[in-house]
Amino acid sequence: MVQSQQSESPPTFLPYLSKRFSSLIWACLDADLHKSAIFYAERYFALDHGNHDARHLYATVMLRANQPHSALHLVNLPQDHQCNGCLEIKSKCCSTLGRHRQAREALEEILKNAAEVPSLSQEQRAARTFPEEAILHCRSGITALKGNLPELARSSLLRALGLNPMIWEAFDGLCSLGSVPEIEELFPSRPPPIKRTSPDEQLTTKTTQPPVPTATGAGLFTPDTGNAGNLFRKPAPVDALPVRMGRLGPRDSMLTDDTVSHLPDISVLAPHQRAKGAAIMLSSRALSSADEGGPAPKKLRATTRGVEKASNKLVAAADDARSKKARARPALTLVNLFSSAGRRPQPTAVSSRHVPVAGGRSDRDGSAQGVGTRRSARLMGNGNKPPIPSKPPPVRDRRRPRTRTRSQSTDSDEEPVPSGDAAHSQSPRSATQSPRSDTSPAPSNWTASQEQAAQEAYEVELADQYIYDLMRLFASATRALAMYNTSLCMEELDKLPHVHQRSPYVMAMVGKAHYERTDYTSAERAFQAVRALDPYRLWDMEVYSTLLWHLQRTVQLSFLAQELLSIEPRSSQAWIAIGNTFSLQKERSQALTCFRRAQQLDPTCAYAFTLAGHEFIDEDLDKAILSFQMALRADARHYNAWYGLGTCYLRKSKIRMAEYHYRKAAEIHPNNAVLLGCVGMAVERRGDREGALALFNEAVKLSPENALVRYRRAKMLISMKRYETAVRDLEFLRDSSPEESNVIFQLARAYRLIGDEVKSAQMLAVARDVSPKSAKKIQKLMETVKDEEVGDEEMDEG
């Protein structure tokens, strides 16, 4: 994931990451996908605030998205920190805002330093790197979404993401529809990139991955004892294996068990050679050149007695195999062309240092241990002559190369100069058949330029992986918020690197998540951070203004409305904030005027229609219903409009209609305790008290601190004559809201019904102090008989 790849410091592949971000942002701009461009530009700028290229791109994107104030705020730096790119964008912003004198001053500053090198964002580039078909599908989906065609919009947006998963605009449109597939389905996780290495290293990796057969003589398919036959264990590291591909350790010789790793691959031999190869592999050692001519006249030391016994059994089979070997000899034509036929064979130096060729298999004539000796014997004569039998070398000659190899590092790249006759035994070999040793690796074509190109390609892949994984995290959090799963949204946002968590986009998501869970205090802090990071931000400010309305922050709400109006007088967010200000001051006619203005400026703004409907509820239910229906035409998933329709029908005593609309709202936002409480209230109205109580219990479980849900459950418990449980809820509400007169009235009533007259009188005295205007209601409660029913509406104030 991204969190494991990133730290507080910028990643090492930041230059390549900058190039990838830059090309992606320009591609979004060329395709007129401003939301996608803003998303990636903010990610780029959050990663490196000191990068002027990132700052210029972010400001350019904001200017293209008709946010000149935010763009100007980004490039309006102190004079010693400004560059020509900042000044050029500043002049454009000032011209857009009508500040022509400031635009001219910026241009004059550019002319003073005309020789300054521009940033990457101002260089030549290739436009439209996005697939054209993906862009068309995305635009088609967004158009269908605005035209209230959800099915067509969903299919087009899914096609766009299928063609190009980096189009953030398409994913954002799916989230607004509410039918978003799983993130793993839309954006499958990708394996981490692997750096391309030289062919020698690749062969080494391939050789060390599968289990290596042990030299027990049991057969080719005997599993590695280190793995104990378990295929699910990880293979041993490269350094832990007996022999590394292309290198021999200081103890590698014909007599060691390690040479079993040089066994050839039988599958690549000719059919008439497979029998011979299998016989060689099943023996404890490979046949030497002496085995071709007959049994060895000399015996080896005690360490080789067991090996010699096994070889004696194959003497008769070797005589029969001579004719077959002669037919297989034409395969050595390339070797004979580069051999010195008149030289005396020296099998000692060759056989002890022979390793398999590239590809992990030896030459086509027997085991790798004895192949050097046999090849030396064959190279003495022509290809048509029979092999010359030779005696096996003395043991001391075989062990001499081991002593020489020990004296130098196994990782040395220089080949030691052989002494004596061994120097004459080194004949040229073909590039495909020449063996490699630990001290004399074969020349490789892997140059420094290829290594640099591989490193650059690897870092480019790392940059692409970084952007993709980062986008997947944001997509997961955005999807959770769209489904109103606020807990999951906060968990996903917490996985983001710190540099991205402090961006305006993320803080706005945090504020909306807290707002949806009715944690207004935390939401207010998050939106204050958004305003500090981007003082000229317009997006999401309608939610912030409604939050301030709930918190009764009259001064802050009025200041926000004036600022938004000065930034953009033609924005719906500004007029919604002004309308909320008038609504908080109980000036409903002026609030309705502001909400209508917001509707005119943005007919797709469902929130403006919903707020107007709430203002109509107390005056004209029919107009309120019409406003809520207009909101649903703009956004069918706007649960506030469904809630408003349920409230209107409940006031009209249309219980079934009210329950239907409340349930629709609860389906969209299943984690909202208030909506579940409204469904329970409608169910209670139609007579199902047990079903209503279950809904109230679920709502309290979702939000234990929600006072409205607890109050409604307490009132229903009193009507069901469960007074003790109702008293516990009312006492909780009295402690949390001591100034709420309705809670005190209901608590006094509950105390009276359970027979506690003293506490009931105390609560009535408190109610008289809290609400002096309720003296008539208090007197009426005191005059009623203990078991006489009193209407809930009569006990509620206002």
DSSP 385: S
Taking the C-alpha atoms of residue 695 and residue 713, their distance in angstroms, rounded to an integer, is 9
Contacts of 312 (CB under 8 A, 6+ apart): 295
Contact 125, 26 (CB under 8 A): yes
> If DSSP codes are grouped into helix, strand and coil, which group holds residue 361?
strand
pLDDT, position 617: 93
Q: With the C-alpha atoms ordered 248, 249, 254, 257, is the resulting torsion angle positive or negative?
A: negative
Taking the C-alpha atoms of residue 122 and residue 92, their distance in angstroms, rounded to an integer, is 14
Q: How many CB atoms lie within 10 A of CB 219?
A: 10
Q: Which residues of 615-654 are buried (b: 16+ CB within 10 A; e: fewer)?
A: bbbeeebebbbbbbebbbebbbbbbbbbbbbbbbbbeeee
Tokens of 728: 């516990």
Q: With the C-alpha atoms ordered 354, 356, 357, 361, is the resulting torsion angle positive or negative?
A: positive
pLDDT, position 10: 56
Nearest to 67 by CA among 608, 539, 541: 539
Which pTM was predicted?
0.67
Taking the C-alpha atoms of residue 289 and residue 391, their distance in angstroms, rounded to an integer, is 8
Q: Which amino acid is at 74?
A: L
Pick left, alpha or beta for residue 755 (phi over 0 → left; psi -120 to 50 → alpha; otherwise beta).
left
Contacts of 422 (CB under 8 A, 6+ apart): 346, 348, 349
Q: What angle do CA 460, 461, 466 make, to 5 degrees?
A: 100
Tokens of 116: 């300054």
Pick left, alpha or beta for residue 243 (phi over 0 → left; psi -120 to 50 → alpha; otherwise beta).
beta
Taking the C-alpha atoms of residue 471 and residue 39, their distance in angstroms, rounded to an integer, is 9
The residue whose two tokens read 């035994």 is 425
The residue whose two tokens read 């241990």 is 369
Contacts of 741 (CB under 8 A, 6+ apart): 767, 770, 771, 774, 797
Compute CA distances 528 → 51, 544, 565, 582, whole Å: 26, 9, 18, 22
Kindly tell me the burial class for residue 689, based on how many C-beta atoms sit within 10 Å of its own C-beta (0-12, 13-18, 19 or more).
middle
- The number of residues in the chain equals 798
Ranges of residues in the chain whose predicted pLDDT is under 70: 1-11, 115-131, 198-444, 781-798
Compute φ and ψ for 357, nearest 5 degrees.
Answer: -80, 175
User: What's the half-sphere exposure (Cβ side, CA atoms, 13 Å) at 709?
Assistant: 25
Kindly tell me the burial class for residue 172, based on how many C-beta atoms sit within 10 Å of its own C-beta (0-12, 13-18, 19 or more).
middle
Contacts of 654 (CB under 8 A, 6+ apart): none
Tokens of 42: 């903010």
DSSP 357: B
Taking the C-alpha atoms of residue 584 and residue 552, their distance in angstroms, rounded to an integer, is 7
pLDDT, position 224: 41
Nearest to 14 by CA among 499, 364, 386: 499
Tokens of 75: 């490039």
Contact 295, 339 (CB under 8 A): no
Taking the C-alpha atoms of residue 725 and residue 744, their distance in angstroms, rounded to an integer, is 16
> Helix, strand, coil shares of the chain as percentages rounded to 5?
65, 0, 35
| Whole-angstrom Cα Rg for the chain | 42
Compute φ and ψ for 120, nearest 5 degrees.
Answer: -60, -30
The residue whose two tokens read 């029969």 is 320
Tokens of 787: 């078991």
Tokens of 418: 């052989």
Taking the C-alpha atoms of residue 300 and residue 399, their distance in angstroms, rounded to an integer, is 12
